[in-house]
Amino acid sequence: MRINLSVNGQRYEDEVEPNVTLVEWLRERVHLTGTKEGCGVGECGSCLVLVDGHAVNACLLLAVEAGGHVVITIEGLAAGGVLSPVQAAFVAAGAVQCGYCTPAMAVAAESLLRANPSPEPEEIRDALSGVLCRCGTYQRVLAAIGIVIEQRFSS
């Protein structure tokens, strides 16, 4: 099947098998390896990407279903090689550890902060609840989001 979509601001047209997931296509065909495949069934959240601005598990979305949509991966959050405020805050707060869930955590944080620039702690926890961290960096991730919120209000 033929798909046309935008990924990180670049248009792609490709022929894909109907059973290829978006995470598989991103990693294998487009070589965007920041998006990880963990469980493959939508439980761990490691494959989180933005589709039309909404956080989506890319292991649950077929590549053909992404056709016609705008996809942003962790790589697309950085503009011109400069880390986004969320990405920079993750580094500053040491919220990166092994790095397997980090891209998805950053994408989840980005999605939340785009929708709500000043979320309450409960909203932050809820937005991150779909991404499992095996290293236990949750407190550092919360600190990173706090850095972004603080920077927005001090600017």
pLDDT in tens, the chain (155 residues): 999 999 999 999 999 999 999 999 999 999 999 999 999 999 999 999 999 999 999 999 999 999 999 999 999 999 888 999 999 999 999 999 888 999 999 999 999 999 999 999 999 999 999 999 988 889 999 999 999 999 987 76
Q: Which fold has domain 85-154?
A: DNA polymerase; domain 1 (1.10.150)
Cα–Cα distance for residue pair 155/149, rounded to 1 Å:
10
Ordered by start, the domain boundaries in the chain are: 2-74, 85-154
**Whether the predicted model's global pTM rises above the 0.85 cut:** yes
Q: What is the CATH number of domain 2-74?
A: 3.10.20.30
pLDDT given at position 155? 65
